[in-house]
């Protein structure tokens, strides 16, 4: 059986003295199946509910006698349930969109590294200042102890393959990237901004 070589997923773009790294969100078959099933359930339940709810509400109000107290006891719990269900479905749909179309973006220049996500802007964008960065390097992309113990690599993929020191802590990036791609990204960044590879930080 022929084994096809893995193709790189990362795109590197350079413009105006900045290097942009574009990383498609890592997709795993288990996540895709679960997310698609949940989206289908949300759509079907939502359509059925909003189709049947008006008639159900009218019947409940007739049975309760139409007093103010009975209307509140009938409408408020249902309304809260609707809001909760709609919020949950919105989260599932956003997660599915991010899984299908999502990209992680890094923009590196002499002043530091910007990191953001799209088309759903979550998590929030982050900015790392060059004066506090140092030791940019590729690291071995292996699962952490929890993923190793539970053998969850089929679900979550590998741990980050890029790291740098930031102040007194360490920031890890590049979840789901292979070690070779991690090394390629680090080499491209350090070729243009070698100061980010120095040991320690000036802060």
Token representation of residue 116: 């953001």
pLDDT at 3 over 80: no
Question: From residue 6, how far is each of 70, 104, 105 by CA, in Å?
Answer: 63, 20, 21
d(CA 148, CA 154): 11
How large is the average pLDDT for residues 133-140?
Answer: 93
Domain ranges of the chain: 11-24+104-197, 32-99
Angle between the N-to-C axes of helices 68-101 and 29-64, in degrees from 0 to 180, rounded to the nearest 10: 170
pLDDT at 116 over 50: yes
Token representation of residue 118: 């799209």
Whole-number pLDDT of residue 201: 46
Token representation of residue 20: 């942009």
How large is the average pLDDT for residues 25-44?
Answer: 82
Q: Three-class SS of residue 31?
A: helix
pLDDT in tens, 189-203: 999 999 999 985 444
d(CA 125, CA 115): 6
pLDDT at 44 over 90: no
């Amino acid at each position: 059986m022929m084994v096809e070589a893995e193709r790189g997923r990362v795109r590197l773009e350079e413009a105006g003295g900045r290097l942009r790294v574009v990383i498609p969100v890592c997709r795993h078959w288990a996540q895709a199946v679960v997310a698609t099933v949940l989206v289908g359930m949300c759509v079907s339940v939502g359509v059925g509910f909003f189709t049947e709810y008006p008639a159900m509400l009218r019947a409940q109000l007739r049975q309760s006698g139409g007093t103010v107290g009975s209307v509140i006891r009938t409408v408020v719990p249902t309304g809260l349930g609707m809001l909760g269900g709609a919020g949950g479905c919105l989260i599932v749909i956003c997660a599915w969109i991010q899984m299908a179309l999502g990209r992680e973006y890094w923009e590196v220049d002499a002043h530091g590294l910007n990191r953001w996500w799209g088309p759903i802007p979550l998590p929030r964008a982050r900015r790392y200042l060059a004066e506090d960065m140092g030791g940019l390097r590729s690291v071995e992309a292996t699962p952490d102890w929890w993923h190793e113990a539970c053998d969850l690599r089929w679900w979550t993929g590998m741990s980050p393959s890029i790291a740098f020191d930031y102040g007194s802590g360490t920031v890890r990036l590049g979840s789901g990237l292979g070690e070779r791609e991690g090394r390629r990204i680090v080499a491209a960044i350090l070729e243009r901004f070698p100061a980010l590879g120095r040991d320690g930080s000036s802060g």
